Amino acid sequence: MPQPALFAIDIVAVILLVFGLYFPRHRRRDLVAAYLGVNVGVMAVASSLGTSGGGAGLGLGLALFGVLSIIRLRSTELDQHEVAYYFCALALGILSALGGGAAWHIPAMMALILLVMFVGDHPRLLRTYRRHSMLLDQAITDHLTLVAHLEQLLGARVHAAAVQRVDLVNDTTLVDVRYSVPTGATATPRVTAPATGGVRR
């Protein structure tokens, strides 16, 4: 397939990825520019260097560069689903720059990436499962007691509770909890006392 056609397909694909999947679901505006920029930037660099015979090694090197950029050069915390979108934006850009092979192959791979993200990041997929980091107003050292307290507080079944810090002086417990709520229930913890710490994702 001609390179300009692949570039056009890539632009359409990354627009669908960003404005069709990511932004409507997560509403983080600053990453819109990041995803678009990394996609077009990788596409431009890979296509320019690819004409000099870099081959598959070039694509692998650019992918590694992108991964390192995400891990080492990021300025803000990224959730795992946001890292996944970064990988997809990188992959789309590299695929569009590779060319070669059957005319359907690269567009099919781009479509597969979009399909996987549509399904894997769908709000209805495993929607009853939640994760919170909670600061409790009690210093709880017994694991069974902690799980029972969290289940009562959340009104949900706790699958894992990893204690991050127990402060015996201030009588608090910081815990990372993974739980599932009954179908149709809300994810809002039932906090009844003002002293109970806040909950964040």
The pLDDT tens digits for 17-68 are 999 999 999 999 989 998 999 899 888 877 777 665 555 555 555 665 666 5
Residue 201 confidence class, pLDDT cut points 50, 70, 90: very low
CATH number at residue 140: 3.30.70
Domain of residue 98, residue span: 3-120
Report pLDDT for 60: 58
Query: In terms of domains, do 163 and 191 share one?
Result: yes
Helix axes 30-50, 80-98, angle to 10 degrees: 30
Residue scoring higher pLDDT (80 or 164) = 164
Query: In terms of domains, do 19 and 44 share one?
Result: yes
Distance (Å, whole) CA 2 – CA 107: 12
Query: In terms of domains, do 101 and 11 share one?
Result: yes
Contacts of 36 (CB under 8 A, 6+ apart): 14, 18, 89
Report pLDDT for 100: 67
Evaluate whether 146 touches 163 at the Cβ level (below 8 Å): yes
Query: In terms of domains, do 86 and 158 share one?
Result: no
Structural domains of the chain, count? 2
Residue 134: closest CA among 115, 156, 119: 156
Residue 96: closest CA among 35, 13, 32, 21: 13
Does the pLDDT value for residue 112 go beyond 80? yes
